[in-house]
Structure 1
């Protein structure tokens, strides 16, 4: 039986392998980006939009319907397929 020949090429250290950087680099970038997003969310929070106070007058229904007009228009646009 023949013995396998030892190769003369020295093995490279792990940090010299390009595939290793592809495997570790992608998730590392995502983790860093998530921390940047968290910092931005904490630094610049979205303002709270107060709801229109409901009043017993007939004008309040008109005010409420005018506030909902963009949402109703978008809903109807989506339901009709843009016709």
Structure 2
């Protein structure tokens, strides 16, 4: 025969149990974080850079600082300076 406390425990609504909220809170936090990440990605876009060369403002001895990304990566890995292109 069930006691009075166990029958009262079974009749309580589901939202009054603490472990239910512990189980629901994990996926809920992930969903909210996904929406926050989407908002930041949609509203914090980086500006599009021009692909045109800036020859009038580029000094002759700019060196490695204006090298393309692949050449800069190779310089960081090997320590060799990229070959200078001579456009005249």
TM range (shorter): 0.5 to 0.7
Q: TM-score, normalised by structure 1?
A: 0.56
Unaligned ranges ≥5, structure 1: 54-58, 77-83
Q: Which runs of 4+ in 1 moved over 6 A?
A: none
Unaligned ranges ≥5, structure 2: 54-59, 79-88
Q: Which has the higher helix share?
A: 1
Q: TM-score, normalised by structure 2?
A: 0.53
Larger RCO, structure (CA 8 Å, separation 6 or more): 2
CA RMSD of aligned residues (A): 2.9
Q: How many residues align?
A: 63
